[in-house]
């Protein structure tokens, strides 16, 4: 036993001396031994997400991208100028509101990258080319895009993801939401289904699909960073701004493209960015799908948007307004005044009321209220929950149109009328006799188009001649314009202004 103790002691001594020698050697070499501890298991995915069952799953956008990419198209819009007009359309003549928002780099919002073709030879026609995106929403060839992508275009070309190219026709436009519907002659196309944009949550993942800088079929990812944004970029009288804000990268050319959720549903139509440079700075804005759906249906069915109106001026209640008006609650929308022929006034809404809900949905800001009302047509009833002197009550309001009644507008879906932006009707025999006319066609409504853009013509103008030819009916009017190219001269009268008037524009 004593020998075993001796052997054990000798072994321990040898090991100790070896360790001492090794440490001494490291110290002489000025080396430091660093030991790292790995506390996490290796992972093949860096980011995870919760599915509908609250289960943790790897975050992967590839399946969603594959589902939606075929339904987003590239749009090229071309606008021709005659030689007299071309000098007026230079980059520095961008409308002031858009200059203030984006700077001088981009024309209109941010989507169409506009350029004026140089004119090396006398007589050559200059043109402007815009590049944007669109979303196929029907297998019948209907495409939703932004109005500013195709506004004032003489030619619209649509390129699908598989590189097939088509000419498109404008079905209708809505400057108040900056939306437009166009159509190509093709069927059985892939489309993106709409989702209820009210249910989209802040922080939810979304993908932006479009053609930034003409880079076709580009997909970027981000989250919904805010809802109900008003960025004061639409200057129409009844403009509706209730944007979804996202940090998915959006750049010039994304206009009219899709914002989708991870299930491949359409959350909104990408429309604008907030940027000091005109390119991506972290904030993009999309028109919510619920508004897009209603506008699209109206344009296809009626040719114009049927916009229900309350007839009130409003402000979002904040701390300062609540103090000024001695309100006890700091939320809702304050009714500042009521207009003539106001639907709200007729229903019993008073100045000073605070609207807190629309059809049971809580509203805290003016964009939220505008967005909910914009989904309804004239004649439809909405239930407004109001706070009046700390007492809550529900008032049913039958919405009016912008003329103060509940009738629905209609517009013939004829391409040449869409181009010039007019609705016309034949004169009755009685109307013609009162004006001492034997022929003529009355322009009953004006929409954004060539007449409004290039002339000072007013609604009610009666066209008696086009380029010296008598106009006896709507058919004459349409047939002549459909065959015309270049300059056109309208001759006619007003029923309330003496004299003959002439209006010239180009087609």
Measured distance CA(407)–CA(399) in Å, rounded:
10
Residue 104's Cα: distance from chain center in Å?
21
Q: Is 161 a catalytic residue?
A: no
Q: Do 182 and 274 contact (CB within 8 A), yes or no?
A: no
H helices of 177-335, in order, are: 289-302, 319-324
Which residue is catalytic, options 74, 79, 148, 376? 148
> Pairing mode, if any, of strands 142-146 and 205-210?
unpaired
DSSP state of 43: -
Alpha helix segments (H runs only) across 209-262: none
Geometric angle at alpha carbon 487, from 483 and 492, rounded to 5°: 90
**How would you list the strands of the sheet with 169-174, edge to edge?**
165-167, 155-159, 72-80, 127-136, 142-146, 179-183, 169-174
Q: Bridge-partner residues for 136, per DSSP?
A: 143
Active-site residue flag, 30? no
* Dihedral, CA of residue 450, residue 452, residue 455 and residue 460, to nearest 10: 120
Q: Is 507 exposed, middle or buried (0-12, 13-18, 19+ CB in 10 A)?
A: middle
Q: Identify whether the C-beta of residue 254 lies closer than 8 Å to the C-beta of residue 111.
A: yes
- Closest listed residue to residue 153, CA positions, set 395, 421, 404: 421
Is 255 known to be catalytic? yes
Catalytic-labelled residue, pool 152, 174, 178, 298: 178
Q: Which is catalytic among the residues 255, 275, 293, 342?
A: 255
Contact present, 425 and 441 (Cβ < 8 Å): yes
Q: Six-digit token pair at 6?
A: 């001796």
Whether the Cβ atoms of residue 257 and residue 208 lie closer than 8 Å to each other: yes
Query: Known catalytic residues?
Result: 148, 178, 255
């Amino acid at each position: 036993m004593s020998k075993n103790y001796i052997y054990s002691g000798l072994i321990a001594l040898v090991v100790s001396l070896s360790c001492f020698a090794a440490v001494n050697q490291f110290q002489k070499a000025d080396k430091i031994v660093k030991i790292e501890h790995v506390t996490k298991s290796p992972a093949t995915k860096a980011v995870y997400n919760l599915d509908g069952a609250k289960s943790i799953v790897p975050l992967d956008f590839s399946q969603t991208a594959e589902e939606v990419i075929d339904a987003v198209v590239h749009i090229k819009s071309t606008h021709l100028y005659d030689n007299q007009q071309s000098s007026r359309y230079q980059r520095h003549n961008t409308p002031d509101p858009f200059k203030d928002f984006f700077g001088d780099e981009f024309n209109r919002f941010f989507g169409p990258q506009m350029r004026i073709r140089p004119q090396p030879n006398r007589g050559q026609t200059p043109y402007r080319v815009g590049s944007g995106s669109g979303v196929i929403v029907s297998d019948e060839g209907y495409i939703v895009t932004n109005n500013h992508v195709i506004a004032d275009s003489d030619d619209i070309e649509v390129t699908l993801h598989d590189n097939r190219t088509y000419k498109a026709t404008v079905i209708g436009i809505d400057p108040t939401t900056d939306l437009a519907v166009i159509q190509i002659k093709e069927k059985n196309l892939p489309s993106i289904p709409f989702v209820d944009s009210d249910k989209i949550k802040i922080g939810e993942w979304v993908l932006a699909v479009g053609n930034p800088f003409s880079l076709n079929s580009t997909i970027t990812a981000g989250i919904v960073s805010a809802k109900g944004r008003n960025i004061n970029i639409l200057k129409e009288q009844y403009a509706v701004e209730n944007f979804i804000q996202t940090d998915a990268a959006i750049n010039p050319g994304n206009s009219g493209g899709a914002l989708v959720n991870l299930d491949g549903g359409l959350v909104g139509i990408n429309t604008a960015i907030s940027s000091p440079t005109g390119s991506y700075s972290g904030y993009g804005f999309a028109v919510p799908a619920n508004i897009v759906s209603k506008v699209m249906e109206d344009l296809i069915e009626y040719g114009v948007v049927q916009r229900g109106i309350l007839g009130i001026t409003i402000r979002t209640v904040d701390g300062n307004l609540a103090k000024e008006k001695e309100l006890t609650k700091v939320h809702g929308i304050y009714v500042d005044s009521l207009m003539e022929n106001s639907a709200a006034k007729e229903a019993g809404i008073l100045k000073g009321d605070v609207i807190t809900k629309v059809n049971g949905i809580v509203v805290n800001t003016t964009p939220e209220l505008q967005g909910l009302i914009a989904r309804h047509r004239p004649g439809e009833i909405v239930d407004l929950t109001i706070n009046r002197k700390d007492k809550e009550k529900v008032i049913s309001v039958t919405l009016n149109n912008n003329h103060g009644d509940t009738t629905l507008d209609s517009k013939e879906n004829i391409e040449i009328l869409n181009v010039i932006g007019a609705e016309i009707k034949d004169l009755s025999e009685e109307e013609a006799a009162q004006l001492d006319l034997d022929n003529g066609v009355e322009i009953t409504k004006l929409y954004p188009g060539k007449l409004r853009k290039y002339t000072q013509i007013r609604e009610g103008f009666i066209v008696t001649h086009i380029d010296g030819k008598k106009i006896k009916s709507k058919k004459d009017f349409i047939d002549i314009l459909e065959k015309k190219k270049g300059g056109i001269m309208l001759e006619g009268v007003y029923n309330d202004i003496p004299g003959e008037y002439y209006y010239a524009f180009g087609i």
